[in-house]
């Protein structure tokens, strides 16, 4: 026998009867494959088509009790910092694509009424086209992947794919692309997802886990028209570091003031916080250290905390509590950590309607961090979580050579390429937790699923455009306060 094999199914008789050596049961491992013992994951995936036809994914029926867009925004603002609500509304009012970015919970409610196969995966929960991007690995090399996991849960893989496809339609419309171009981007994103899942299903498990190196991604997704944009984004990302942020956002202190540096107020996006609030954030980093990989502790021990500031974050997260913490090493070189509030995933209330459990996540920061690690090939080496004054937070590097493509600024050819690339990345991320053979067996070889997802994306983009119009009307009437352009 070539190497130790995994668990032998008990119902098939003894190890000797099956022609294998006696090995102990190994919890967490797959059962050893036995010819004739049952259908393969691929065949089980195919059988799911009988219960959930691939064409059924085109369906988009809104529930009768669906809240209007304004009420949905109001409800999603509960528990956030009240004075930041106008900034959030202003950002969502910028365009239908921006509205989609801030309404993951509303879309989850709508998706709960759509067909699902029941195949569980660790999903992003907010896999719109602007939540993919570049960031630096441990050696400073740039990788591209999903990069926002605030809403991550174990749920239906279809929800991520449909949110991505819809966002591509809206991004294309914002840039002025024709409807055929927008639909093609959604269609090709679904196609790239399907093709990539088939590729991963055929590969050895370890190779599939680490599949599609970034230098191969453009060729795999046939995204050659995107090369120039990626090169420009990469050049900008390499400069997007803690040192650059600190140089722009902090000032040096005199010896009489204790030396070092401190943040400079830049309202409304960045503001220093009272001493007691800063102390609470700084002291929480002790608990954070207990969640970081042990081999990172000597690195962090070479830094001292110098200042804390509150910083407003992106569209969907505006109003959550988010801090930046300035650390300096012995040479005065900065490392900036982001300590960001982790609220319960907006998908949780809607999972049971789709047949998925909505378990207590425990610490929400832990949920976000573990979900990120399960989906990315390479993750931030300083990821962790903590609690500040009773609230859960995630902790990560800030400005870790991050860069992103603005999908609403792409040409028609680039949008289609970007759709294929992000579709491939999403498949890779899902395949870390769901067996790619199972999903691939369901998706199949033809374009039936691609057509259905594209049809859903166009219909839901229309729904989102109407929701955005309702929000604009509420802003104009004075029902909702909005700060535009912040």
Question: What tens digit of pLDDT does each residue of 235-288 get?
Answer: 999 999 989 999 999 999 988 888 899 999 999 899 999 999 999 999 999 999
Handedness of CA 379, 380, 386, 389 (dihedral sign): negative
Q: How far apart are CA 117 and CA 52, in angstroms?
A: 6
Strand partners of residue 396:
338
Query: Residue 173 belongs to what H/E stretch?
Result: helix 157-174
In the sheet that 304-311 helps form, which strands lie side by side, from edge to edge? Answer: 270-272, 304-311, 322-328, 334-341, 391-397, 384-388
Query: Over the chain, what is the mean pLDDT?
Result: 90
Q: Which stretch of 174-178, 215-219, 475-479 has the lowest confidence by average pLDDT? A: 215-219
Q: How confident is the model at residue 7 (pLDDT cuts 50, 70, 90)?
A: very low
Neighbours of 467 (CB within 10 A): 23
Q: How confident is the model at residue 485 (pLDDT cuts 50, 70, 90)?
A: confident
Q: What angle do CA 105, 109, 111 make, to 5 degrees?
A: 110
| Cβ atoms of residues 156 and 140 within 8 Å | no
Q: In this structure, what DSSP letter does residue 301 have?
A: T
For residue 369, give the 3-state DSSP assignment: helix
Using alpha carbons only, give the angle 483, 82, 262 rounded to the nearest 5 degrees.
80
- Distance separating alpha carbons of residues 425 and 200, to the nearest angstrom: 12
- Residue 313: the pLDDT is 83
Of 305, 340, 311, 342, nearest to 325 by C-alpha is 305
What pLDDT is recorded for position 22?
64
**CA 256: distance to chain centroid?**
45
- 């498949």: which residue's tokens? 427
Instruction: Give 271-274's long-range contacts (Cβ < 8 A, gap of 24+).
Output: 271/309, 271/310, 272/307, 272/308, 272/309, 272/310, 273/308, 273/309, 273/310, 273/323
Q: Computed over its alpha carbons, how large is the radius of gyration of the chain?
A: 24
Residue 10 binned pLDDT confidence (cut-offs 50, 70, 90): very low
DSSP secondary-structure letter at 317? G
**Do 435 and 200 form a contact (C-beta atoms < 8 A)?**
no
Query: In the beta sheet, which residues pair with residue 384?
Result: 395
Checking if the pLDDT of 142 tops 90, the result is: no
Are 377 and 428 spatial neighbours (Cβ–Cβ below 8 Å)? yes
Q: What is the pLDDT of residue 218?
A: 67
More confident residue, 217 or 244: 244
| pTM of this structure | 0.91
Nearest-angstrom CA–CA distance, 426 and 431: 9
């Amino acid at each position: 026998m070539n190497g130790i094999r995994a668990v032998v199914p008990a119902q098939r008789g003894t190890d000797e009867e099956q022609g294998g050596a006696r090995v102990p049961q190994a919890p967490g491992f797959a059962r050893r494959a036995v010819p004739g013992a049952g259908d393969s994951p691929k065949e089980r995936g195919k059988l799911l088509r009988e219960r959930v036809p691939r064409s059924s994914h085109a369906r988009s029926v809104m529930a009768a009790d669906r809240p209007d867009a304004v009420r949905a925004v109001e409800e999603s603002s509960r528990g956030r910092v009240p004075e930041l609500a106008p900034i959030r509304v202003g950002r969502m009012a910028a365009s239908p694509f921006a509205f989609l970015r801030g309404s993951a919970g509303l879309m989850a409610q709508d998706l709960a009424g759509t067909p699902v196969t029941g195949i569980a995966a660790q999903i992003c929960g907010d896999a719109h086209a602007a939540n993919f991007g570049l960031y630096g690995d441990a050696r400073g090399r740039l990788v591209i992947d999903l990069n926002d996991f605030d809403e991550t849960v174990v749920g239906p893989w279809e929800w991520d794919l449909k949110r991505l496809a819809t966002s591509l339609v809206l991004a294309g419309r914002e840039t002025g692309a024709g409807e055929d171009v927008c639909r093609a981007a959604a269609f090709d994103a679904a196609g790239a997802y399907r093709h990539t899942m088939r590729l991963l299903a055929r590969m050895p498990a370890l190779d599939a886990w680490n599949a599609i190196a970034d230098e191969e991604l453009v060729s795999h997704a046939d995204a050659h028209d995107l090369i120039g944009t990626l090169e420009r984004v990469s050049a900008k990302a390499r400069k997007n570091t803690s040192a650059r942020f600190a140089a722009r956002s902090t000032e040096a202190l005199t010896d009489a003031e204790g030396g070092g540096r401190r943040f400079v107020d830049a309202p409304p996006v960045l503001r220093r916080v009272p001493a007691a609030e800063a102390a609470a954030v700084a002291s929480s980093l002790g608990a954070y250290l207990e969640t970081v990989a042990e081999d990172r502790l000597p690195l962090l021990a070479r830094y001292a905390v110098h200042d804390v500031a509150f910083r407003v974050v992106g569209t969907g997260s505006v109003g959550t509590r988010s801090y930046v913490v300035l650390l300096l090493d012995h040479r005065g070189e900065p490392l900036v950590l982001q300590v960001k509030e982790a609220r319960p995933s907006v998908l949780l209330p809607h999972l049971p309607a789709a047949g998925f459990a909505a378990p207590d996540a425990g610490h929400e920061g832990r949920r976000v961090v573990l979900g990120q690690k399960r989906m990315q090939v390479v993750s931030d080496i300083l990821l962790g979580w903590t609690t500040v004054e009773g609230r859960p937070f995630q902790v990560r590097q800030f400005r870790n050579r991050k860069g992103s493509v603005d999908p609403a600024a792409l040409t028609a050819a680039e949008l289609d390429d970007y759709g294929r690339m992000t579709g491939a990345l999403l498949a890779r991320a899902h395949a870390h937790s769901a067996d790619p053979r199972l999903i691939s067996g369901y998706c199949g070889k033809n374009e039936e699923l691609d057509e259905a997802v594209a049809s859903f994306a166009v219909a839901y983009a229309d729904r989102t455009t109407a929701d955005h119009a309702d929000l604009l009307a509420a802003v104009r009437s004075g029902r909702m306060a909005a700060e535009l352009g912040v």
